[in-house]
Structure 1
Amino acid sequence: MEELPGTDALPDPALSRLRLRHLTCFVAIAEERTLAGAAVRLGLSQPAVSKTLAELELVAGRRLVDRGRSGAALTDAGTRFLRHALEVTGAMASASQALVRESAPGVAPLRIGALPTVAGGVLARALARLHRERPHAWVQVVSAANPELVAALTAGRIDCAIGRMAEPSTMRGISFELLYTESLAVVARPGHPLAAAGADRPTDPAALRGYPLLVPESGTAPRLQADALLRSIGPGTATRCTETQSLTVARAVAVQSDAVWITSRHAVRLDVEQGWLTALDVPVPQNAEPVGILRRSRARPTDLAEEVFELIRASI
């Protein structure tokens, strides 16, 4: 019987049935360690994730993931396969970014989340430098509280975040790189009576009692720090404040009145450097909150992400 030409080059039967969605789903399961977590990250139902995994294991001819009450764990075969799956999905991501750059020169999308105090401080400084060097870089900034940032990062709605460490149970598959520890600042408009009064010596916190106070929202990390200062000002002070997470609102009130703003030091660094606000020499609690870069452990950052990370580090 005559052989068909090119028989040696016929595709591997497994390769012809393998799809990118199989690899993407498998990587998500490996990183999230639960099918439910992978479903949230991929925006799919859990049955759809289970079906896709079953298809992949049928193609592989062996079990790749052991499912149990404690979650999903890779088998030895799954562990070996993961390395190749990451290489393929990483290559596809790079190819996609290259196509975007080819179709729109200078465009490299990056979705980055940040705490409100970080978005208007450290991140803003880094982005200002980025746009001087790459005017057409495409960056989407999401400002939210830390739990929302961690959830968005886990689900793949953002690529990275500048935030705080969260409970270990919510940090699975997420790495944390410490950037700095955040302390409090007490600021007011230039020419504020307390600025002149405290020129030669620290201002007694009790002196703040006679002025309106702007503080972070209750339940946030900066507010927990601020509460210790509020207690030193006097009893009942915490119930006579304006609470806001908006830097825009707090800044506008502070520059137009005698209100004193208690907030994270990095959030008002630019304001003080530019002379829009004055730092008051008020003793503040020394406990500091760690702030850093959050990203998915196994995800390869894009060139733009790496550039932004470097700019953020340089902005501290």
Structure 2
Amino acid sequence: METRISFRHVSCFLAIARERNLGRAAERLNLTQPAVSKTLTELESLADVRLVERGRHGARLTPAGEHFLRYAVGVAQAMESASAALHAPAAPPVQILTLGALPTVASGVVPDALLRLRERHPQTGVRLHTGTNQVLLSALKAGHLDCVIGRMAEPATMQGLSFELLYAEPLVMAVRPGHPLLGTRTASPQAVLDYPLVVAPAGTVPRLHTDAFFDAHALHVPATCTETLSISVARLLARRSDAVWITPEFAARDDLVRGELARLPLAAANAEEPVGLLRRSAGEPLDAVKALAEILRELTRADSRTAQSRTRRPRQRGTPSASERTR
């Protein structure tokens, strides 16, 4: 069987896996839909197993298809590397890292990691893509991305992927300096709802934790809130108005450190979100992925030590605490 499967079979299968639709896969390959369907049928006949379930709502990989996908991606990447070597044999070796990151992470640990990667590996280019965790993991499994800085998902989605924990970040409520809630002795969940909210979209992990926080106080996020994945929009809304931005801490860290935003003294219990590096289980990762993984470990270890030292450092007598300074 392995001598009869050709690269056109693999390319066709990968296009279907990426698009989840035979029509869109045909457009990607510049072929007709019948030609794509015929090639897929040939591959399934050679494999003697169904790889794709076709239906009115698109094409879904079977368990056998998911298993084959793990190795088909490696075949395509090897062919692309071989083709590049033939077309530019004299060019200096340049490796492109295609990285996926959650928007909250992309504005936190990622910039420092990419700066350090650039210093150590100047011949490595980076193509950064942001999106929801579900979109990023689908792209990773289909070979669009080399690795993702994101979150764990349900077991079915994690098939063929590995997860390395980097850190866990809490949910914070960030507001502009001088916000009315900072002048009160106690900022309550009910008081927060008196102001516009900026939150993550429904279905995301930060939103689930946000909803759980208000549910625990018999409250709910109002329909009049602003839902966005854009960190730049969220932070500007918080800085330019009385809006309360509820977000994972890393997304607001620079603004909090510089004093351009302040943290409300409200903690969401059990809302720490584990963030890690996700890779495909099969195949040897790119050298750039290995280098990025080591850099991320260094940065998150350093952040952890800094946080611990701040926690252990005794406060001098007469020095007001952070919450006291905001009153």
TM-score (norm 1): 0.69
Residue 294 of structure 2: aligned partner: 310
- Give, in whole Å, the separation in 2 of the partners of 1:89 and 1:140: 18
Deviation at 1:225, TM superposition (A): 0.4
Q: Secondary structure at the match of 1:210?
A: coil
* Residues 73-152 of structure 1 mapped to structure 2, 5 A cutoff: 105=92, 107-135=94-122, 137-152=124-139
Amino acid in structure 1 at the alignment position of 2:222: A
Matched, 1:241 2:225: yes
- Give, in whole Å, the separation in 1 of the partners of 2:49 and 2:193: 59
CA offset digits 1:97-137 (Å, max 9, x no partner): 87899755473211111122122222233123323444553
Which of 254, 270, 273 is the aligned partner of 2:238?
254
Q: 1:205 to 1:151 in 2, by over 3 A?
A: same
Matched, 1:163 2:146: no
- Give, in whole Å, the separation in 2 of the partners of 1:196 and 1:98: 63
Q: 1:244 to 1:41 in 2, by over 3 A?
A: closer
Matched, 1:40 2:17: yes
Unaligned runs of 5+ in 1: 1-14, 29-34, 58-64
Residue 170 of structure 2: aligned partner: 183
Identity %: 41
Deviation at 1:40, TM superposition (A): 1.8
The CA RMSD over aligned residues, in Å, is: 4.0
Amino acid in structure 2 at the alignment position of 1:280: L
Q: Secondary structure at the match of 1:148?
A: helix
The answer to whether the Cα contact below 8 Å between 1:160 and 1:295 also exists between their aligned partners in 2 is yes
Larger displacement relative to structure 2 (129-138 or 44-53): 44-53
- Give, in whole Å, the separation in 2 of the partners of 1:184 and 1:249: 18
- Give, in whole Å, the separation in 2 of the partners of 1:208 and 1:86: 48
Q: 1:91 to 1:244 in 2, by over 3 A?
A: closer
Amino acid in structure 1 at the alignment position of 2:156: S
Deviation at 1:226, TM superposition (A): 0.5
The answer to whether the Cα contact below 8 Å between 1:208 and 1:233 also exists between their aligned partners in 2 is no
Matched, 1:67 2:49: yes
Q: Secondary structure at the match of 1:309?
A: helix
- Give, in whole Å, the separation in 2 of the partners of 1:101 and 1:196: 64
Residue 288 of structure 1: aligned partner: 272
Q: 1:246 to 1:103 in 2, by over 3 A?
A: farther
Larger displacement relative to structure 2 (86-95 or 140-149): 86-95
Residue 199 of structure 2: aligned partner: 215
Greater Rg by CA: 1
Deviation at 1:47, TM superposition (A): 4.1
Deviation at 1:184, TM superposition (A): 0.6
